[in-house]
Amino acid sequence: MAIIYNEERQQFHLFNDEISYIMELINEEYLAQVYYGRNVQTFNQRNPYPYVSRSSFSPSPADWPDRHFTLDAIMQEAPGYDTSDYRQSIIEVTYPDGTQATNFKYESHVIFQGKKPLEGLPATYIVEEDEAQTLEITMLDAHRQFKAILSYTIYTDRAVIAKSIRYVNASPETIVLNKAASACLDLPDYDYELIQMTGSWAREKHLKRDPLTMGIHTFDSKRGASGSAQQPFISLVRPQTTEATGEVYGFHFVYSGNFAIEVEVDNYEQTRVLVGINAHHFSWQLEPNQAFQTPEVIYVYSNQGLNGLSQTYHHLYRERLARGEHQYAERPILINNWETTYFDFNEEKILDLVDGAKELGVELFVLDDGWFGKRNSDKTSLGDWFVNREKLPGGLEQLAKKVKARGLKFGLWFEPEMVSEASELYQAHPNWALQVKDYPLSKGRDQLILDFSRQEVREAIFNQMTAILDVVPIDYIKWDMNRTMTEVGSIGRDAKQQLETSHRYMLGLYDFLERLTTRYPHILFENCSSGGGRFDPGMVHYMPQSWASDNTDAVERLKIQYGNSLVFPTSMICAQLSEVANHQVGRITNVEMRANVAMSGNFGIMLNLARESQADLAVVKASIEWYKTHRRLIQYGDFYRLISPFESNETAWLFIDQAKEEGVLFYFQILSQASQPLKKVKFQGLDPDSLYEIRGQILSGDELMAYGLYLNHEFYGDFQSKRIPFKKINQ
């Protein structure tokens, strides 16, 4: 791995064994993208700029001698604003004179070993200095004394570039940032299909693939959270790209608030991808000599199809984004009381559930919403984080003690960012909620959002939480967030700074999470936002697992978990076997199917054990036993998508350990069909030259991948599933 600057050709080449990323200076001024793709050992060309004649109304930059050159036509790394590149730009700045023209030119660069942390923001990191190299290129608008410092990190053995920008006001006056993107990548053509991860509450991360067309396409969130409607991710793939073959580019934003990914195909058929904080409800007063650090974007390239892309993201996120004691730890099998009791519980009911769970082999009990204040419905008490003695007379200490005496760990639900109007906290501090002064506030689930941009508000919640966590032996926290933002204003903040609130909120949240997770390193944190409403790489940095969806229906979960797997490794995706009729969609599926789907993630259960049949409980118990002996493989093995639920009545995926010695195939068929065609499942990721023992047969890896297995003729009835372990045999 290296980053080289070729003085003669004014070219930067970032490369490792898998990828190359090449940029060049035009006339020592403009920074152009040249090539990003599979590794090129030596590169000796330059792009034909600026000598190509492109008939255009687009002007040439000031002082440029050749009128055939326009910034509008070149593949730029730092496109400015109002100076002849008419495409989407990385910034929009308002200067003290009210104007906006900004034109960045190369000033200097530096190459260094390693990677710097991004102050106050989640980011990928290094453990050893020699894991990565970083190139920082300073671009300057000399008339404005405004700088963009572009940072590119390349890892030694990952097909990854981590990109961010630091904007610096080197002028003596305050300027206003209205848009400050993190990354711009221009590609020379648009022969791509675009994959987005889209959805809604309880339908998160559905994959949608469409041909890329001309014009500007925006994928964004203005919800104050990354949201369930759109993951801060897109991928561009060649039309012929499959799971196993073909070119793929991925762009994933390490941020949990408002974002925008703009994909623009211009009139020269070039593709621009811009990623950053959404310009909606954003502005930043940048004082003299101050910098604005943007969050980072993770670029991944693969020429081995979507699976190649996923493997790279999975390993990076597990190894260099997640942190802490649980980063590589086997995750406990939990039971959660939410769908069993909702708000209606007491210590006795909870302990009955725990007793039943112990019989089944469950390892962790999670007390969900309703244990605090006067919380008997979702209309009250958020912000009052002290125990409800009517429900739990002996307090959390006693309950935790009793749960632990039964051999289970104890976990607790919080929704720290929220406040109910009917709460002691709100009555005492009505101006602690996010609000636009004297303006009616929209409510979501009857709750308001605390102004986490303010230190004193965060401090009050932090103190309430630590008062519990310092005395109750808590092993796990589910951190929930059940509404998105509206009327985003901050009481007491200067009028000019009101539009900084959304981003300051995120900085406040990250600061809170950093403090809390550092203070309680043994606690396993699970991220939740009405399911997967804020499941993004930013949160992964603080919480190593996420509740993927409130939707626990086995059929719906196939799509949700399959979609998640495009970027997130299994150890981060939580799944639970719940009762039927399913509470979200009313479907009745058999317990084997529900178990097999939930066991394809971090397994848990959410069942009213008193209501389940003995036969079904026996299946749950056997599933828990099986999972315990296979969970390292499932949580930390390599994951391969084989058949997509978005395209078929079947779904298949497999897990295999990194040595390719042991694996398990999961195969699902949703609806039964008479006289159905025979269908094969073709494996991936095996060692072609090894023999595997599978279903009592000895078959070669080659054979399983090329020919596959026929399985669907064994199914009868709706909602069928198979779990097929296999092992390499010593030859």
Catalytic residues: 480, 550
Task: Please report how close the Cβ of residue 220 comes to ligand DGJ at its closest, in angstroms.
Answer: 23
CA distance 235 to 251: 6
Give the count of beta carbons closer than 10 Å to the beta carbon of residue 441.
Answer: 14
Kindly write out the interface string for residues 321-340 of this chain, putting x where it contacts ligand DGJ by CB under 6 A and - elsewhere: -----------------x--
CA distance 230 to 250: 15
How many chain residues bind ligand DGJ (CB under 6 A)?
11
CA distance 227 to 199: 9
Task: Select from 368, 500, 616, 650 the one that contacts ligand DGJ (CB under 6 A).
Answer: 368
Measured CA distances, 499 to 44, 104, 436, 453 (Å):
47, 25, 11, 12
Per CB under 6 A, the segment of 25-33, 45-53, 394-402, 525-533 that binds ligand DGJ is: 525-533
Contact of 309 with 235, CB cutoff 8 Å: yes
> Which 620-649 residues touch ligand DGJ, going by CB under 6 A?
none
The answer to whether 368 is annotated as binding is: yes
Per CB under 6 A, the segment of 43-51, 184-192, 524-532, 597-605 that binds ligand DGJ is: 524-532
Task: Select from 186, 550, 553, 650 the one that contacts ligand DGJ (CB under 6 A).
Answer: 550
Task: Please report how close the Cβ of residue 380 comes to ligand DGJ at its closest, in angstroms.
Answer: 12
The answer to whether 338 is annotated as binding is: no
Give the count of beta carbons closer than 10 Å to the beta carbon of residue 287.
Answer: 11
Task: Select from 264, 266, 480, 592 the one that contacts ligand DGJ (CB under 6 A).
Answer: 480
Identity of the residue, 266 or 368, whose beta carbon is nearer to ligand DGJ in the bound complex: 368
Geometric angle at alpha carbon 257, from 256 and 260, rounded to 5°: 105
The 3-state DSSP class for residue 315 equals helix
Does 528 help bind ligand DGJ (rule: CB under 6 A)?
yes
Task: Select from 92, 247, 369, 612 the one that contacts ligand DGJ (CB under 6 A).
Answer: 369
Q: Which residue has the tokens 């990952």?
A: 158
The 3-state DSSP class for residue 465 equals helix
CA 603, distance to chain mean position in Å, is 20
Does 365 help bind ligand DGJ (rule: CB under 6 A)?
no
The answer to whether 82 is annotated as binding is: no
For 192-207, the DSSP string reads -EEEEEE--TTS--EE
Does 266 help bind ligand DGJ (rule: CB under 6 A)?
no
Tokens of 354: 């725990």
Does 526 help bind ligand DGJ (rule: CB under 6 A)?
no
Contact of 178 with 161, CB cutoff 8 Å: no
Task: Please report how close the Cβ of residue 317 comes to ligand DGJ at its closest, in angstroms.
Answer: 22
Bond into 581 cis (ω within 30) = yes
Rg value, the chain, Cα: 27
The answer to whether 432 is annotated as binding is: no
Does 556 help bind ligand DGJ (rule: CB under 6 A)?
no
CA distance 373 to 390: 10
The answer to whether 284 is annotated as binding is: no
Identity of the residue, 482 or 596, whose beta carbon is nearer to ligand DGJ in the bound complex: 482
Parallel, antiparallel, or unpaired: how do β-strands 132-141 and 105-113 relate?
Answer: antiparallel
The answer to whether 378 is annotated as binding is: no
Task: Please report how close the Cβ of residue 340 comes to ligand DGJ at its closest, in angstroms.
Answer: 12
Per CB under 6 A, the segment of 127-135, 180-188, 417-425, 527-535 that binds ligand DGJ is: 527-535
Identity of the residue, 73 or 412, whose beta carbon is nearer to ligand DGJ in the bound complex: 412
Task: Select from 79, 232, 416, 531 the one that contacts ligand DGJ (CB under 6 A).
Answer: 531
The residue whose Cβ lies closest to ligand DGJ is 369
Per CB under 6 A, the segment of 182-190, 452-460, 523-531, 589-597 that binds ligand DGJ is: 523-531
Total count of residues recorded for the chain: 731
Task: Please report how close the Cβ of residue 375 comes to ligand DGJ at its closest, in angstroms.
Answer: 9
The beta-carbon contacts of 240-243 under 8 Å, at least 24 apart in sequence, are 241/193, 241/305, 241/306, 242/305, 242/306, 243/305, 243/306, 243/307, 243/640, 243/641, 243/642, 243/684
The answer to whether 527 is annotated as binding is: no
Task: Please report how close the Cβ of residue 204 comes to ligand DGJ at its closest, in angstroms.
Answer: 11
Task: Select from 547, 603, 627, 692 the one that contacts ligand DGJ (CB under 6 A).
Answer: 547
Contact of 464 with 398, CB cutoff 8 Å: no
The answer to whether 201 is annotated as binding is: yes
Q: Which of 140, 95, 132, 151 is nearest to 16 (CA)?
A: 132
The residue ranges that bind ligand DGJ (CB under 6 A) are 338, 368-369, 413, 480, 482, 528, 530-531, 547, 550
